[in-house]
Structure 1
Amino acid sequence: MILTVTPNPSLDRTYEIPALDRGAVLRATADRVDPGGKGVNVSRALAAAGHRTLAVLPLGGPAGAALAALLNGEGIEVVGVPVAGQTRSNISVAEPDGTLTKINATGPELSADESEALLATVGERSAGAGWIACCGSLPRGLAPEWYAELVARAHAAGARIALDTSGPSLTAALRERPDVVKPNAEELAQAVGRPLATVGEAVKAAEELRARGARAVLASLGADGQLLVDEDGTHFGSAPVAAVRSNVGAGDASLAGFLAAGGTGRAALAAAVAHGAAAVQLPGSQLPTPRDLVPAAVMTTDDVPYDRLLREPVS
């Protein structure tokens, strides 16, 4: 069983439109409402692949109730921590060329008691979990050190932690040595405070995160593939993508595939790449099922293309 923690979940509505024209009345060609939040998406991807998962998240108001109902409908066990504020609702606008415009709400402010209740609930429900995946931004009311406290408590209980966050929250948590961190290229550049223009520069940034405490780094480089930097060295993986429809949840799907495949080594990296490549070809925040995956198309190697220029360099 893989337990996920999403401190700031959401309801995500996605509209597909022919083109985004500011100031005009736009008619959507399709729309959908999905559960949102990075940890939520990890649970959804795991459930879609037939793995047992439990989602711990703060829930408040009608939006929180709707979110729990949607997750239950996908076969996900939800452990909700009641909060006084309203669970947020986000909007995404997707264009045919893959351009995605997102409007993310702030979300509720959690009290000190609600913060502690969330930490305690994770501890109570983590028995038997193979991994605890802690994902996403922190809501108002939670200090940047909140994830660090969660990692410390989880390790004290013997659990393995995968952390997908950024900024001060990531920096603070590194000192507690999370078992794997999963930044994208932009988050990786932010963490080390310098631009990344090549795969080699991304590798050096990942190695720096390991030196600062991360036991392994799974880095998504967008269209350029993914890196896994751990105690055994550096591994690179990629897969062809016919057309990008939406990148919402693609990184979360990658983390789900990685953890479901054991969370270590080239086989887990290959699963991460397969899940990420499948996710970007699906609409909205839809997560891939096993029939969407093409494992044979995935390439992994220890011969890392250090000099390759990133198609989307981060400044």
Structure 2
Amino acid sequence: MAIATLTLNPALDVTTCTEKVRPQHKLRCTAPRFDPGGGGINVARVITHLGGKATAVFPSGGPVGAVIVKLLEDEKVPILAVPIAGTTRESFTVDEGRPGDQYRFVLPGPELREDEQAALLDALFGLADVSHIVVSGSLPPGCDPAILKRIGARCREAGVKLVIDTSGPALAACEGAGAWLIKPSLREVADLVGRDIASEDDEMAAARTLQARGFAELVVISLAERGALLVGAGKELRVPAIPVEAKGTVGAGDSMVAAITLASAEGKGIEDALRYGIAAGAATLMTPATELARKEDVERLYAATAS
């Protein structure tokens, strides 16, 4: 069985470096790096890097969309690009030489017409032998968050496990969507439950609340440098973070989602899947700029968690 990802608001990630970011100055930058971006696209890339099969479904418009298509083809990531009238957005990241701060500029992206949204969903659910669908990233301007409930309903009809990784109003709209798994941050969970979370017991209680409200069968809360916790499938567990020297943060959460989904599709238990996800997130932290997890790093870190 295969995996499919849906990225409703993809981006061409442009990364460069300058010695110091200062206002009202021309900042001389290094040669840019170009990567296909957006949550679902990153998930598909990591799954491909790890030896799995994931088809990336996304809207593609204008010259920027064409560049993303070419970059994914070069990476041998299976894609299904749906043409749109608008132009795919760019995102811009500047790494500062000293003291090493990173500045991320994220553009909003084009609006998707109703017929374009319908074409994306038809393309997604037209794929054969899909066991898991990952919807990851932001929604484009003007997109009704209720689209996630429509996706959830179609996943239930098709017997497909739905993974959602998003934020803001889109995450709030996941209540009752029937997802198999969601992966919010602790801050996002506090917003959803409407209270401060001050202890580890509070964290578990909040995860139970989200599960009871129908956000997902499995609630994985990302705890940053403390790792992650999971509630669901008759389990309540924590997996600590793996200490690594962080060179960049872009794509770490996407890598975690990718590895959890791939492990599940391969029949691993949820505890092993979560440890694999933690290893993939840590492996991405070890890579510079917008580079994603390398398989050899993921496997080494994952093996270390089992010892």
SS at match of 1:179: strand
Aligned pairs for 1:1-315 (under 5 A) are: 1-29=2-30, 31-95=32-96, 99-125=101-127, 127-213=128-214, 214-262=216-264, 264-293=269-298, 294-298=301-305
Q: Deviations over 1:246-290 (max 9, x none)?
A: 111000000111111116521001001000111111112211122
Contact 2:228 2:241 in 1 (8 A): no
Distance 1:204 1:24 in 2: 49
Q: Quick one: which amino acid aligns to residue 280 of structure 1?
A: L
Deviations 1:58-90 (A, max 9, x none): 110000010011011111111011110000000
Percent of matched pairs sharing the same residue: 37
For residues 30 and 241 of structure 1, the distance between their equivalents in structure 2, rounded to whole angstroms, comes to: 31
Shift in Å, 1:129: 1.2
CA shift in 2, pair 1:291/1:204, >3 Å: same
- Offset at residue 25 of structure 1 (A): 2.9
Please say which of residues 225-234 and 13-22 is displaced more in the overlay: 13-22
Contact 1:112-1:141 at 8 Å conserved across structures: no
Instruction: Give the number of equivalent residue pairs.
Output: 299
- CA gap of 1:94–1:206, structure 2 versus 1, over 3 A, is farther
Cα RMSD of the aligned pairs, angstroms, is 1.9
| Cα-to-partner distance string for 1:210-268 (whole Å, 9 max, x where unaligned) | 01111001121111111111132211112333321111100000011111111652100
User: What TM-score results when the alignment is normalised by the length of structure 1?
Assistant: 0.89
Secondary structure of the residue aligned to 1:247 is: coil
d(CA) in 2 for partners of 1:244 and 1:29? 21
Separation in 1, partners of 2:260, 2:19? 34
- Following the alignment from structure 1 to structure 2, what is the Cα–Cα distance between the partners of residues 236 and 116? 39
| TM-score, normalised via structure 2 length | 0.91
Unaligned runs of 5+ in 2: none
Conservation of the 8 A alpha-carbon contact between 2:148 and 2:177: no
| 1:149-200 Cα shifts (integer Å, max 9, x gaps) | 0111111111110011122222222212100001122322222223334433
Shift, 1:98, TM fit = 5.7
